[in-house]
Amino acid sequence: MMHPFTEIQFISDEIGHGVVATRFIPKGTITWVQDELDQIYTPQQVAKMQKLSQEMIDKYSFRNNKGNFVLCWDISKYVNHSFRSNCFSTAYDFEIAVRDIYPGEELTDDYGYLNVTEAFKPKDEGTSRSIVYPDDLLHFHKEWDAQLEDTFRFIREVNQPLMSLVPGPVQQKLNLILDGREQPESLLSLYYDDTK
């Protein structure tokens, strides 16, 4: 489920639609949680689908670390890629704002940690990376982990309207992390190796 202070808006002809903040969303806010309405499909299920359905799965889903396709039921499927993303996935089936997000600003992810099935070249943002690869997690997880570790310390300081959707065991794990008794799990745990 996407954060309640968001809506879908047309971004541009090149990008299409995206998810935009309707109010200020501070750093450390959980912006999306995988919930019970999200649909999960195995590669075998997708292979049996009609071609158009397969295209929609490819366009609107991401792959988890088991290689399954997660199709979100709400506007979160419209969150676009950015190499300068303001939201990051975590190893706990939620995403978090890694910097303040202002009203009218688009919420973005780096698709490099979403186990894309094929490399693609997104809109040029003038960054050192210009292509998203299926194995980006292997190369950038340490950098992303450091950014998440910095962000986690804000979780208790901001309003969390989606916290009730975070499963109890994950909340307990978060408390251990926030109390300094455990380290956050690496984003590398999200990686799916489709060569195995």
Q: What is the CATH number of the domain that holds 31?
A: 2.170.270.10
Q: Is residue 195 included in any domain, yes or no? A: no
Q: What is the pLDDT of residues 6-54, one digit of tens each?
A: 999 999 999 999 999 999 999 999 999 999 999 999 999 999 999 999 9
CB count in 10 Å sphere of residue 192: 17
pLDDT band at 194 (very low <50, low <70, confident <90, very high): confident
CA distance 102 to 115: 28
Percent helix, strand and coil across the chain, each rounded to 5?
30, 20, 45
pLDDT band at 108 (very low <50, low <70, confident <90, very high): very high
Number of domains composing the chain: 1
pLDDT at 128: 94
Q: Is residue 196 included in any domain, yes or no? A: no
Q: Is residue 42 included in any domain, yes or no? A: yes
pLDDT at 161: 98
pLDDT at 186: 97
- Is residue 111 within 8 Å of residue 132, measured between CB atoms? yes
Crossing angle (nearest 10°) for helices 168-178 and 136-152: 70
- pLDDT of residue 196 exceeding 80, the answer is no
Q: Is residue 39 included in any domain, yes or no? A: yes
- Is residue 2 within 8 Å of residue 21, measured between CB atoms? no
Q: What is the pLDDT of residues 118-135, one digit of tens each?
A: 999 999 999 999 999 999
Q: Is residue 175 included in any domain, yes or no? A: yes
Q: Looking at this protein, which amino acid is placed at residue 117?
A: T
Q: Is residue 36 included in any domain, yes or no? A: yes
Question: Which parts of 46-186 are beta strand (E)?
Answer: 61-63, 69-71, 80-81, 87-89, 94-97, 108-109
Q: Which domain holds residue 108?
A: 6-190
Residue 2 tokens read as: 């996407």
Q: Is residue 121 included in any domain, yes or no? A: yes
CA distance 196 to 120: 22
Q: Is residue 152 included in any domain, yes or no? A: yes
